[in-house]
Amino acid sequence: ERFVQRRKVIKKIVRLPTVLEADLNNLDEFTLKLDQLLDQNNKSIFDTSIKQATTYTKTIFIMEAVVMYLNDEVVMPLCQQCVRSVIKNNPLEDISLCFADRFPGIVNVDNNTSSLTTFEKEREDVAAFLLKSQLQLTRWMPKLGRARHMGVAKYIP
């Protein structure tokens, strides 16, 4: 905010991120709030004379130590709903997911293998998990700790 306030020329160009508050274990509530947010953003971005489907924009979802605290069965539908809601509003949208989290069911701890092998297996499992939401893992950095899955995924139509 300070950056935008100090540079008056930038004020018309830069849009600050929007924070969405919702119970992520309640997929219906999350979907409603996300759709409202995206609809509101589209109305403020797009001129009525320009068709929405011809405008390129970018949406970035950031998940940092969030999904590991959700009910396991809600994580996949939540990721899928993020993609569906954005594409519904603008099919040409560029979607990225930046994460430092732990996805459900993907913690491969085997004392008989090296940590590199374990991290590679987790990378494959996370990539397969994200692919079910039409997100392709493009960057991966394993880390120790609870939020052990860190990377970037991009939408693939």
pLDDT digits (tens, 9 = 90+) for 58-80: 888 999 999 999 999 999 999 99
Phi then psi for residue 99, to 5 deg, are: -140, 145
pLDDT digits (tens, 9 = 90+) for 34-53: 998 888 766 554 444 444 44
Strand 135-140 and strand 94-101: the pairing is: unpaired
**pLDDT value of residue 105:** 82
What is the rounded CA–CA span in Å between residue 29 and residue 6?
Answer: 37
pTM: 0.77
pLDDT digits (tens, 9 = 90+) for 114-136: 456 778 888 999 999 999 999 99
Task: Select from 97, 63, 64 the least CA-distant residue to 83.
Answer: 97
Res. 94: pLDDT tops 70: yes
**Which residues are within 8 A (CB) of 103 and not within 5 positions of it... i.e. 6 or more apart?**
67, 68, 75, 125, 126, 129, 149
**pLDDT value of residue 50:** 45
Q: 88: pLDDT confidence band, cut at 50, 70 and 90?
A: confident
